[in-house]
């Protein structure tokens, strides 16, 4: 069983839609990262959080460490948001899932 489960695995949306991506863990974590990987492979760190909620622009991330669950929300989605979103947990070394492939159509 994977330590990290992301849902959905694939998501297609129309520009402007509100998007939610979820992460659940089977092991305890102390913190969590939300990463964005573009088709070229480059990775951008969006958030690192250990509790509560963080907001940056149109992106909002929430986490409940006790329930081992986190969500990433994108408001007013845009085609440039199209990427793979990954939520590795941080227990000394990051454990990656397969990510969520998001496609936002104009």
How many Å apart are CA 65 and CA 28, to the nearest integer? Answer: 8
Residue 96 touching another protein (CB under 8 A): yes
Q: What is the CA radius of gyration of the chain?
A: 13
Interacting positions 17-76 with another protein (CB under 8 A): 30-31, 33, 35, 41-45, 48, 50
Residue 99 touching another protein (CB under 8 A): yes
Q: Which bin fits 99, alpha (ψ -120 to 50), beta or left (φ > 0)?
A: left
Residues that bind another protein (CB under 8 A): 30-31, 33, 35, 41-45, 48, 50, 86, 88, 90, 93-99
């Amino acid at each position: 069983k994977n330590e990290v489960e992301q849902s959905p695995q694939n998501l297609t949306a129309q520009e402007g839609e509100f998007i939610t991506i979820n992460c659940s863990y089977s092991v305890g974590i102390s913190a969590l990262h939300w990463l964005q990987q573009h088709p070229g492979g480059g990775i951008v760190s969006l958030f690192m959080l250990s509790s509560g909620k963080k907001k940056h622009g149109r992106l909002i991330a929430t986490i409940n460490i006790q329930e081992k669950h986190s969500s990433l929300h994108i408001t007013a989605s845009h085609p440039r948001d199209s990427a793979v979103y990954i939520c590795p947990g941080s227990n000394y070394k990051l454990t990656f899932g397969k990510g969520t492939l998001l496609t936002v159509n104009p």
